Structure 1
Amino acid sequence: MDTHGKSRKAMITVLYWVLVSATLQGCFADIPHFWKKSASRFGSSFVLPVSGNVYPLGYYSVSLSIGRPPKAFDLDIDTGSDLTWVQCDAPCTGCTKPRDSLYKPNNNLVHCENPVCAAVRTSGNQPCKTPNDQCDYEVEYADQGSSLGVLVNDYFSLKSTNGSLLIPHLAFGCGYDQHFPGPISPPPTAGVLGLGNGKASILSQLSSLSVIRNVLGHCLSARGGGFLFFGDDLVPSSKIAWVPMLASSSDKHYAAGPAELLYNGKPTGVKGLQVVFDSGSSYTYLNSKAYQAVLNQVRADLNGKPLKDADEDKSLPICWKGAKPFKSVNEVKNLFKPLTLSFMKGNAQLQLLPEAYLIVTKLGNACLGILNGREVRLGELNVIGDISMQDKMVIYDNEKKQIGWVLANCDRLPNVDRDYNGDFSEPYAADFGMLSPATRFL
């Protein structure tokens, strides 16, 4: 979600969000030792089909089944924040879903005494008066959007690539006060799937249960859709460009750098860029200096070419029109040059071809999908959004503290298409968080 109203997702958690100081062990204190050990038997990955696109929807989402019996909720995928929350069936402000599509708590509130509570509470919250108080949360995003609610825990139904159905007991937010700034409509999804590397994320919780390795990846198709995966089974063994995560960055973001900005393979004079990879942003944001350098280079390169400014198109700040409306980026990309982020650490390059920074609007104009980060209060941060991650597998390896990418076909699920067509074998189900190891269910 940005101030131009083009992204319907939370873009990146504000930097002042408090650092996580507690582990999640207390959240799973009721799990018998038997189940903790059996989790390591799976050593597999979970693959989730992704829906959505950069334009015109402005978001990518997945469907997750939560509760007993399971109920499906569509959630925006956001690597820029770590708290997962779902719109709550309670007196609700800013909730856009009909009541039967909201999440209904069932005596499953997380209390303040639980260490997981410390992972979601911000410095602005009032301290708990007693250990048995409910654990309230408030998350704010850089686009000034926010969610206020209470922490709960419930069962998530996850199908593994090895054919198992796992039902871990995980903590997440039940949001009853959502704020969506600007003139745009609220997002149509039921909430946000926080995929950052903070301790409260679903990824971190699954990893702490030894269900999967702490690795996340996504592959977003430029034609819409794609897939998301937890675990490292689907990570290619070669051809990945790896860069180390910045140790100094917030533990809820995936940041790398420093990087130098190149245009058509030539230096722009812009160096030292800190880059955040954020699936919660539809578009890419550069700091003012880098943004102006790109804009100057593109405009100079378009001089004498058959494009004119299309100021009447308000889809994005900078748009161009041709002699006749364009039907796709393929019709106009030959008029633009590639951008490259050259990372000093890891000796890797992230190349952004014109189709990784342009969209064609409903009016048939070509618009620049790179925006000025200053206008959304990002300061010197630079954000690689969905538009620049399309048709690439992007991997966040929290085990080795590195981020990688490789060109990929994101139009089909890797090696599990048959399973997701309804022929998923389920040899047995493991239920993490059950009070009795003798109790299992499918």
Structure 2
Amino acid sequence: MAASCCPGHGRFCLILLLAEHKHGAATGTRMPIVHQLGPCSPLADKHGKAPSHEEILAADQPRVEYIHRRVTETTGQVRPKRAAPPSAPSVQLQPTPLSSSAASAKLLASSGNAVGTGNYVVAIGLGTPEERLTVVFDTGSDTTWVQCQPCVESCYPQQEPLFTPAKSSTYANISCSSSYCSDLDIRGLRLFWRPLPLRRPEFRFRCGEDNRGLFGRSAGRMDLGRGKTSLTAQARDKYGVRDRVPGPRPAANARLTPMLTDKGPTFYYVGLTGIKEDGRPLPIPESFFFAAGALVDSGTVITRLPPKAYSPLRSAFAKAMEDLGYKKAPGVSILDTCYDLEGGEGKALPAVSMAFQGGASLDVDASGILYMPKTHGVLYDLGNKVVGFVPGAC
């Protein structure tokens, strides 16, 4: 894992553990990532005003609504109705033929996937010669895409120049009649992708030439979901992922929980079994969590709980804060349990812990009571079908 360029700031890392059969050992791939609004991000506006909490949470809502729609489509579970959310960003796609034999019909579609301000970004290389691009990485989607030249209709502003397929000697279109295209929610293209440290020839992705949305000046999105068209699925041929891969744990302090693979093809589900406040289990029946499972998502700003789980957590936390002498402050957007911490230096804060199947736990200490801890590594072990939380991994 590369060292952070800003050692004084909280860091976060994603560990993608595939199974590369090298001398009988399973190895993992680590990608250094940064928050797109953080001081290390190449997309951060160093001289502009940072978005407010209200703006961040407002931008997060379309993402949450997108996840709810996808869950409903996959499981048939109907979510409670809410006020109509803002429209999800639209991504219009069109193939760019390199020869007269290539398809030239315009393919219009909407990705339907909202990308808010809470996302992390990673640098990748595309094409030959390599063009470096900064993209959002997303564990809740299945097909990578970037903006491409020529920009036929509309392209949102991005940090680097748009990817130019015509300059790549290893770029080629995919036939619209291919089995790969049938796996997409919208049509896709094919090219040669050479990111480091994971190099993957013949990587398939979508090339967007009519794009609308709020993507934070990123060049596009790298999708790491569990579906057939994601980077993780395409890397299986190279890394030899099987249903079960023996091998050592990636870290002695990794807290592993089984990945629930029967909940849908895209998202990473885990079994949340309970919540503790200062070591005391909250009065939430364990059976309450079993029906739907919990979803680990890289693109959502804050953890969200259903009312039957959030209400006892809020009550216990508020009681503990009152006992410690903290005064309540006005709420911010959907955050209704806020406090004035002025003069509270050195005081303790209540600790929150989330318990998962298999004995794993995620401890949310004072550094991340409202926002998840920033120095945790999140492990996605696709071979062994587990998700892990690694304290201090970054």
Share of identical aligned residues, percent?
23
Task: Check 1:398–1:211 CA distance in 2 against 1; reply closer, same or farther (3 A cut).
Answer: closer
Task: Check 1:398–1:202 CA distance in 2 against 1; reply closer, same or farther (3 A cut).
Answer: same
Task: Check 1:315–1:187 CA distance in 2 against 1; reply closer, same or farther (3 A cut).
Answer: farther
Partner of 1:84: 144
Partner of 2:361: 349
Task: For 1:94-133, list aligned pairs within 5 A.
Answer: 95-97=156-158, 101-106=161-166, 108-121=172-185
Write the distance in 1 (CA, Å) between the matches of 2:352 and 2:338. Answer: 18
Shift of 1:152: 1.4
Given the two structures, how large is their TM-score scaled by the length of structure 1? 0.56
Query: Once the two structures are superposed, what CA deviation does each residue of 1:68-107 show, in whole Å capped at 9, x if it has no partner?
Result: 2211111112112222111233234462327x62233447
Task: Check 1:111–1:18 CA distance in 2 against 1; reply closer, same or farther (3 A cut).
Answer: farther
Partner of 1:391: 375
Structure 1, unaligned stretches of length 5 or more? 20-56, 122-136, 138-149, 216-230, 358-367, 370-386, 411-442
Paired residue secondary structure (1:391): coil
Partner of 2:92: none
Task: Check 1:311–1:63 CA distance in 2 against 1; reply closer, same or farther (3 A cut).
Answer: same
Query: Once the two structures are superposed, what CA deviation does each residue of 1:165-222 show, in whole Å capped at 9, x if it has no partner?
Result: 8451111122345554xxxx642212121111111111210112x246479xxxxxxx
Partner of 1:407: 391
Shift of 1:3: 8.0
Paired residue secondary structure (1:300): helix
Write the distance in 2 (CA, Å) between the matches of 1:189 and 1:315. Answer: 27
Task: Check 1:186–1:79 CA distance in 2 against 1; reply closer, same or farther (3 A cut).
Answer: closer
Write the distance in 1 (CA, Å) between the matches of 2:131 and 2:182. Answer: 28
Shift of 1:335: 3.9
Higher strand share: 1
Write the distance in 1 (CA, Å) between the matches of 2:385 and 2:248. Answer: 17
* Residues 352 and 365, structure 2, Cα contact 8 Å, conserved in 1: yes
Partner of 2:71: 15
Write the distance in 2 (CA, Å) between the matches of 1:117 and 1:263. Answer: 48
Structure 2, unaligned stretches of length 5 or more? 1-35, 37-54, 76-116
Task: For 1:248-397, list aligned pairs within 5 A.
Answer: 248-270=262-284, 271=286, 272-273=288-289, 274-311=293-330, 318-323=337-342, 331=345, 334-343=347-356, 345-357=357-369, 368-369=370-371, 387-388=372-373, 390-397=374-381
Write the distance in 1 (CA, Å) between the matches of 2:336 and 2:147. Answer: 32
Paired residue secondary structure (1:303): helix
| Amino acid in the other structure paired with 1:73 | L
Write the distance in 2 (CA, Å) between the matches of 1:119 and 1:111. Answer: 13
Task: For 1:129-278, list aligned pairs within 5 A.
Answer: 137=186, 150-160=187-197, 166-178=199-211, 180=213, 186-208=215-237, 210-211=238-239, 213=241, 236=250, 238-270=252-284, 271=286, 272-273=288-289, 274-278=293-297
Shift of 1:66: 0.5
* Residues 156 and 217, structure 2, Cα contact 8 Å, conserved in 1: no
Shift of 1:306: 4.4
Shift of 1:63: 0.6
Number of aligned residues: 287
| Amino acid in the other structure paired with 2:275 | L
Write the distance in 2 (CA, Å) between the matches of 1:62 and 1:356. Answer: 23
Shift of 1:315: 9.6
Task: Check 1:8–1:65 CA distance in 2 against 1; reply closer, same or farther (3 A cut).
Answer: farther
Task: Check 1:322–1:288 CA distance in 2 against 1; reply closer, same or farther (3 A cut).
Answer: same
Write the distance in 2 (CA, Å) between the matches of 1:154 and 1:9. Answer: 30
Shift of 1:61: 0.8
* Residues 189 and 205, structure 2, Cα contact 8 Å, conserved in 1: yes
Write the distance in 1 (CA, Å) between the matches of 2:224 and 2:294. Answer: 17
Q: What RMSD, in angstroms, separates the aligned Cα atoms of the two structures?
A: 3.6
Out of 291-300 and 304-313, give the one that drifted further.
304-313
Write the distance in 1 (CA, Å) between the matches of 2:235 and 2:241. Answer: 8
Write the distance in 2 (CA, Å) between the matches of 1:409 and 1:119. Answer: 35
Given the two structures, how large is their TM-score scaled by the length of structure 2? 0.63
* Residues 151 and 171, structure 1, Cα contact 8 Å, conserved in 2: yes
Partner of 1:431: none
Query: Once the two structures are superposed, what CA deviation does each residue of 1:342-397 show, in whole Å capped at 9, x if it has no partner?
Result: 22x3122222223233xxxxxxxxxx34xxxxxxxxxxxxxxxxx24x32222111
Task: Check 1:171–1:10 CA distance in 2 against 1; reply closer, same or farther (3 A cut).
Answer: farther
Write the distance in 2 (CA, Å) between the matches of 1:3 and 1:178. Answer: 22
Shift of 1:15: 2.2
Query: Once the two structures are superposed, what CA deviation does each residue of 1:268-327 show, in whole Å capped at 9, x if it has no partner?
Result: 122332211111122211112212222212211111544333327669554322335x8x
Task: For 1:52-91, list aligned pairs within 5 A.
Answer: 58-89=118-149, 90-91=151-152
Task: Check 1:339–1:77 CA distance in 2 against 1; reply closer, same or farther (3 A cut).
Answer: same
| Amino acid in the other structure paired with 2:204 | A
